[in-house]
A = this chain, B = another copy of it.
Amino acid sequence: MKLVVINPNSTQSMTDKILESARAAAADGVVVEGRTAHGAPASIEGHYDEVMAAAHLLREVQQAEAEAADAIVVACFDDPAIGACREIATGPVIGICEAGIKAASMIATSFSIVTTLPRSVPVIEELVRRYGLDHQCRKVRSAAIPVLALEEPGSNARQLVRDEILRAIEEDNCEAVVLGCAGMSDLTEWLSVETGIPVIDGVTVATKFAEALVGAGLKTSKIGAYAKPNSK
């Protein structure tokens, strides 16, 4: 099985990190390839960045499709352009927000999300509501760090994320925490140990869910909204 994990922003170090997480999670025999949406913004912080990344992301999806990828993971917590990716792809396409919160809902009655910037909070709140899990989501929280701070060696970003998780435990009574940015992927284990709560990394879970759907023989439905784009 071939799985393509696409970082929809153009920061290579994030792609590397994401790919590492995906490969660590992948089952034996699953070939995981990482792709960077070259030309996209360096990070996705809001709706505008999402749009400016989307066409580049789709190009990578088309490339993955051309290379017969069995499944695709879109590794940005805003789940950008997921519907469009699903129209192009034959196999399943999984966004890390959808994967993260659906996984959380299978191991806990409630969860909070910790993301980077405050401006992403309403974006994620809308996603959670769209996926139907707002009744299990205690709160979407921001650690008040830019996405790229997660890439800077020596920044205190990881401490800020940990502190926000501890506040989530204290104030939200949540039973799990979902990391609200692909760039936090490498912190998952450390954060789990530091906080004592299940900490869920969307990249890891999306990788496994992609494997799961492929393993179950499922492909994206092509009889409705996710049919191949109409030619003009």
Interface set of A (CB-CB < 8 Å, partner B): 25, 27-29, 41-43, 45-52, 54-55, 58, 81-84, 86-88, 92, 94, 98, 102-103, 105-110, 117-123, 126, 129-136, 146, 148, 169, 173-176, 189, 196-198, 200-201, 204-205, 207-209, 211-213, 215-221, 223-227, 229-230, 232
Contacts and interface: CB of A to CB of B under 8 A. Distances in A.
A175 B226 contact: yes
Copies in the complex: 6
A103 B213 CA distance: 7
A42 B216 contact: no
Given A48-B58, A130-B130, A173 B224 contact: yes
Given A106-B94, A106-B209, A175 B225 contact: yes
Contact of A48 (B28, B88, B110, B146): B88
Given A119-B224, A119-B227, A220-B107, A51 B81 contact: yes
